[in-house]
């Protein structure tokens, strides 16, 4: 799974992802760095609109069309989507073909269960600074026509390093694959599924961090410092 992320270089998003426009007042006010982003928060994503990439703020927690309330994010547990059933499960099967997005990040946290507690780790790809998770989104509307832009991060089986910590990991895209991921004309299950793979073995930096990250309201740079 992927339940906490970081984004501490937001000013680099535009150049890194070749963005041409900010949608829904994204970054109208400076988006502050976050070292402990959690589900239900409003965070930047990258979507393709026509032939260009746009930054769009969305709520982390995919709301399917039949959800009754914005708070149903936790009811449906949709902040992650499993790659294995993403083409068949009603919640995801339309979005994976027609509403894919990039979720910018500098890293993420995962917890390793021990006999007495859960130890958090900070993780990021060695070959990328600012990178993107594979995401899908939905623009949910309530009965009054008010809209909520919501997204989910796709997870897959773990690579060799992650398997020592958890049985899932988020899909981290390689820069060369991001254009294909966002391509609205790409509806091929085979093509899309080929991108939903674990990151390469030996390509992740992983180390123990403070349990302070367990509390979402704690958000400062010390969270990503190694305690080893």
pLDDT in tens, 3-15: 999 999 998 999 9
Element at 121 (helix H, strand E): strand 118-125
Tokens, residue 187 = 């509806």
Structural domains in the chain? 4-224 (3.90.1680.10)
pLDDT-based confidence at 214, cuts 50/70/90?
Answer: very high
Rounded CA separation 176/42 (Å)? 27
* Pairwise pLDDT comparison (194 vs 28), residue with the higher score: 194
Residue 156 CB-half CA count within 13 A: 17
Annotated catalytic residue: which of 101, 110, 161, 178?
A: 110
Annotated catalytic residue: which of 2, 101, 161, 178?
A: 2
pLDDT score at 2: 84
Query: Is 110 among the residues known to form the active site?
Result: yes
151 near 192, Cβ under 8 Å?
Answer: no
Tokens, residue 171 = 């899909």
Q: What integer best gives the mean pLDDT of the chain?
A: 91
pLDDT at 77 over 80: no
pLDDT-based confidence at 50, cuts 50/70/90?
Answer: confident
17 near 44, Cβ under 8 Å?
Answer: no
Query: Is 205 among the residues known to form the active site?
Result: no
pLDDT at 28 over 70: no
Residue 120 CB-half CA count within 13 A: 21
């Amino acid at each position: 799974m992927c339940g906490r992320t970081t984004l501490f270089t937001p000013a680099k998003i535009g150049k890194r992802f070749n963005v041409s426009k900010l949608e829904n007042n994204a970054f109208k006010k400076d988006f502050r760095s976050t070292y402990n982003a959690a589900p239900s928060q409003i965070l930047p994503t990258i979507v393709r609109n026509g032939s260009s990439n746009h930054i769009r703020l969305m709520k982390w927690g995919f709301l399917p069309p039949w959800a009754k309330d914005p708070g149903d994010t936790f009811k449906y547990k949709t902040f992650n989507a499993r790659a294995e059933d993403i083409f068949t499960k009603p919640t995801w099967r339309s979005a994976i073909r027609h509403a894919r997005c990039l979720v910018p990040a500098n890293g993420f946290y995962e917890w390793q269960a021990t006999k007495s507690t859960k130890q958090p780790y900070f993780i990021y790809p060695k070959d990328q600074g600012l990178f993107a998770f594979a995401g899908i989104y939905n623009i949910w509307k309530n009965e009054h026509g008010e809209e909520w832009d919501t997204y989910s991060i796709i997870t897959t089986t773990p690579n060799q390093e992650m398997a020592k910590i958890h049985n899932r990991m988020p899909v981290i895209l390689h820069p060369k694959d991001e254009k294909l991921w966002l391509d609205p004309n790409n509806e091929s299950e085979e093509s899309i599924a080929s991108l939903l793979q674990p990151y390469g073995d030996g390509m992740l930096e992983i180390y123990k961090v403070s349990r302070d990250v367990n509390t979402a309201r704690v958000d400062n740079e010390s969270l990503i410092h190694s305690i080893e």
